[in-house]
Amino acid sequence: MFLNSIFPDPEHAARLMDIAKTSLMPLLKGAIFYSIPLTIITFICGLFLAILTALARISHVKALQVIARIYISAVRGTPLLVQLFIIFYGLPNIGVTIDPYTSAIIGFSLNVGAYASEIIRAAILSIPKGQWEAGYSVGMSYSQVMRRIILPQAAKVSIPPLSNTFISLVKDTSLASLVLVTEMFRRAQEIASTNYEFLLVYSEAALLYWVICFFLSIIQQALEKRLDRYAS
Amino acid sequence: MISIKNLHKRFDKLEVLKGINLEVEKGKVVVVIGPSGSGKTTMLRCLNVLETPSEGNISIEGQSLDFSHTVPKKSIAAFRRLTGMVFQGYNLFPHKTALENVMEGPIIVKKEDKRLAEEKARALLNKVGLSDKVDTYPAHLSGGQQQRVGIARALAMEPEVMLFDEPTSALDPELVGEVLKVMKDLANEGMTMIVVTHEMRFAKEAADEVIFMDQGVIVERGKPDSIFTNPKEERTKRFLNMLQ
Ligand SMILES: Nc1ncnc2c1ncn2[C@@H]1O[C@H](COP(=O)(O)OP(=O)(O)OP(=O)(O)O)[C@@H](O)[C@H]1O
Ligand SMILES: [Mg+2]
């Protein structure tokens, strides 16, 4: 009944089925070759940046603290889309031309770097002072205590919030479509612009994002359970 | 030989140590007692330079630090290696097994060969009665076991003196004995020790000297017998009465 009212015409229904089927492959390709690698590469670069930023933020060197604060504040205070546009469309004005994929990696990494640095900083600060003192008392230096004692424990604390960042990133990569990266959503736009079945094609893309994030959250839960086991 | 001269420590305006003078001969065991807030922990932390003294001079086995001017980080790190610290709350590294806890200092700080460090760490854990717990993480050890790992960890750096800050006060009563026994063994082996504790039995059996601290100064010192049975100072008497 309900379906009939949406698709009164069986031929139309058949056409939609057909479009759904034929667009699945290109969408999957966009996900597998662009969205997912973009997420992974960005997350790794961003995490690296985040650790450096967190270390700068809690260091005793005032200049490093200030640089880190400004970076975090600038990234958090401006829309991601605007940042991407500046990198891809803006920089060519001063002679810096970066290809779409690289622009997206830079933009997203800067973002993850800023947001995740706050997670990592909080995790580092959550490690009891006694751990520092125990490290110092056996003669370790600041950097040795940080590397060997504090960061490994902070890593464990920050895994749950960082996996949330990771899952958000999967969805945020759709913004790369606007700087011409042919990731999944860009493919959806291209397909829909030829057959005008926006609802169908975009819903299909949404479903794929959902599936990816669903699997990621299962992995996240498994990971957290594992970590809990070590903790107690 | 340890010598502390005119040690002062201020936190902002609060003066916690008001000129401590103390000499401890090699191989001696000194027990420090005193009311809460008297500065016992702060004194130990100054010896381990976890707290930078505001003023004064500390020397251990010929190496000395003078705090009347700023001391470079390098000399602090070198000085720290002369002392081993055992904390009230154990402060074991939770992400490392008992063995790894003990090996960490020698490998990372002394750059000792891994195999050698492991051999020594096993011997130390054996010595504190934990040879069956080498691969256990701190979370799976009792408080008494954790504290014994803490002692082994400090010993692994082969310090000249061991500092204990109320090592048994966080323990259930039935676990106190096993830690005190390890400490007595150490004392019998000739380790120089400064122990903040209110375990009078330990003080009577193992200490060469008892020091009573109050309000940032050493009020009275003497043999355990004379301090406990025949204290001279009014403040010491009052404190000992309170303990009983
Ligand atoms: N980091 C710090 N900043 C400010 N004040 C401090 C600090 N550490 C210790 N104090 C103060 O110094 C005084 C002495 O503290 P300390 O811990 O040395 O005493 P204690 O003799 O070990 O007492 P307890 O028996 O309760 O352990 C206390 O008044 C305490 O509040
Ligand atoms: Mg104390």
Q: What is the pLDDT of residues A116-165, one digit of tens each?
A: 999 999 999 999 999 999 999 999 999 999 999 999 999 989 988 999 99
Chain A interface, best mutation among B45, B50, B75, B135, by max A CB count within 10 A:
B50
Chain B interface, best mutation among A61, A129, A131, A137, by max B CB count within 10 A:
A137
Kindly report the number of other CB atoms within 10 A of residue A179's CB atom: 20
Q: Binning pLDDT at 50, 70 and 90, where does residue A229 land?
A: low
A185-217: pLDDT as tens digits: 999 999 999 999 999 999 999 999 999 999 999
**What ligand has the least distance to the C-alpha of A129?**
1
Is the pLDDT at B61 greater than 80, yes or no?
Answer: yes
> Is any Cβ of chain A less than 8 angstroms from the Cβ of B221?
no
pLDDT for residue A2: 58
**Residue closest by Cα to atom 31 of ligand 1:** B37
Q: Give CA–CA dist B95/B101, Å, rounded.
A: 9
The answer to whether A132 and A150 have CB atoms below 8 angstroms apart is yes
* Complete DSSP assignment for B76-131: HHHHHTTEEEE-TT----TTS-HHHHHHHHHHHTS---HHHHHHHHHHHHHHTT-G
**Residue closest by Cα to atom 8 of ligand 1:** B42
Q: Binning pLDDT at 50, 70 and 90, where does residue A232 land?
A: very low
Q: Give CA–CA dist A163/B168, Å, rounded.
A: 40
The DSSP bridge pattern shows strands B217-222 and B63-66 to be unpaired
Considering only alpha carbons, which residue of chain B is nearest residue A156?
B95
Q: B44: CA distance to ligand 2 center in Å?
A: 9
The CATH number covering residue A191 comes to 1.10.3720.10
Q: Give CA–CA dist B153/B87, Å, rounded.
A: 11
Domain count, chain A: 1
Task: Give Cα separations from B197 to A19, A22, A89, A214 (angstroms).
Answer: 80, 78, 69, 56
Answer yes or no: do A140 and B109 touch at CB < 8 A. yes
* CB nearest to A139's CB, from B80, B91, B95: B80
Q: B45: CA distance to ligand 1 center in Å?
A: 10
B24-36: pLDDT as tens digits: 999 999 999 999 9
Full residue range of the structural domain in which residue A74 is found: 2-231
B117-141: pLDDT as tens digits: 999 999 999 999 999 999 999 999 9
Q: Give CA–CA dist A80/B203, Å, rounded.
A: 66
Interface of B with A in 64-103 (CB under 8 A): 73, 77, 80-81, 83-85, 87, 89, 91-95
Q: What are the residues whose beta carbons fall under 8 Å from the beta carbon of A124, sequence distance 6 or more? A: A54, A58, A150, A151, A154
The percent of residues above 90 in pLDDT, for chain B, comes to: 91
Q: Give CA–CA dist B53/B133, Å, rounded.
A: 38
Is the pLDDT at B51 greater than 70, yes or no?
Answer: yes
Q: Give CA–CA dist B76/B91, Å, rounded.
A: 21
Tokens at A102, concatenated: 């690289």
- Interhelix angle A62-76/A36-58, nearest 10 degrees: 140
* ipTM value for the complex: 0.94
Answer yes or no: do B108 and A130 touch at CB < 8 A. no
DSSP-derived letter for residue B72 is P
Q: Which of A119, A113, A127 is nearest to A43 (CA)?
A: A113
Q: Which of A94, A107, A113 is nearest to A54 (CA)?
A: A113
Q: What is the least distance, in Å, from the CA of B73 to any CA of chain A?
A: 9
Residue B74's Cβ-side half-sphere holds a number of Cα atoms within 13 Å equal to: 0
Tokens at A115, concatenated: 């947001």
| CA-based max dimension of chain B | 55
Q: What are the residues whose beta carbons fall under 8 Å from the beta carbon of B220, sequence distance 6 or more? A: B211, B212, B227, B231, B232, B233, B235, B236
Tokens at A194, concatenated: 């030829």
B104-120: pLDDT as tens digits: 999 999 999 999 999 99
Tokens at A232, concatenated: 């107690």
The answer to whether B193 and B186 have CB atoms below 8 angstroms apart is yes
Is the pLDDT at A88 greater than 80, yes or no?
Answer: yes
Q: B41: CA distance to ligand 1 center in Å?
A: 7
Q: Binning pLDDT at 50, 70 and 90, where does residue B92 land?
A: very high
Is the pLDDT at B190 greater than 70, yes or no?
Answer: yes
Is the pLDDT at A1 greater than 60, yes or no?
Answer: no
Q: Which of B214, B105, B109 is nearest to B150 (CA)?
A: B105
Is the pLDDT at A230 greater than 60, yes or no?
Answer: no
A65-86: pLDDT as tens digits: 999 999 999 999 999 999 999 9
pLDDT for residue B78: 87
Answer yes or no: do A136 and B50 touch at CB < 8 A. yes
The stretch A223-232 carries a mean pLDDT of 69
Tokens at B159, concatenated: 């310090």
What's this model's pTM, rounded to 2 decimal places? Answer: 0.89
Answer yes or no: do B77 and A141 touch at CB < 8 A. yes
Q: Give CA–CA dist A230/B2, Å, rounded.
A: 42
- Contact residues on chain B for A232, CB-CB shorter than 8 A: 139
The percent of residues above 90 in pLDDT, for chain A, comes to: 79
Q: Binning pLDDT at 50, 70 and 90, where does residue A12 land?
A: confident
Q: Is B141 in the pocket of ligand 1 (CB under 6 A)?
A: no
Q: What are phi and psi of B110, to 5 degrees?
A: -90, -5
Is the pLDDT at B244 greater than 90, yes or no?
Answer: no
Q: B40: CA distance to ligand 1 center in Å?
A: 8
Mean of per-residue pLDDT scores for chain A: 92
- Contact residues on chain A for B91, CB-CB shorter than 8 A: 128, 130-131, 133-134
The DSSP bridge pattern shows strands B55-60 and B29-33 to be unpaired
Pocket test for ligand 1, best of B18, B41, B163 (most atoms within 8 A of CB): B41
Answer yes or no: do A138 and B50 touch at CB < 8 A. no
B113 alpha carbon, distance to own chain's centre: 27
Kindly report the number of other CB atoms within 10 A of residue A77's CB atom: 8
Is the pLDDT at A41 greater than 80, yes or no?
Answer: yes
**Residue closest by Cα to atom 6 of ligand 1:** B11
B94 alpha carbon, distance to own chain's centre: 21
Q: Residues A82, A88, A91, A95: what is their CA dihedral angle, to the nearest 10 degrees?
A: -170
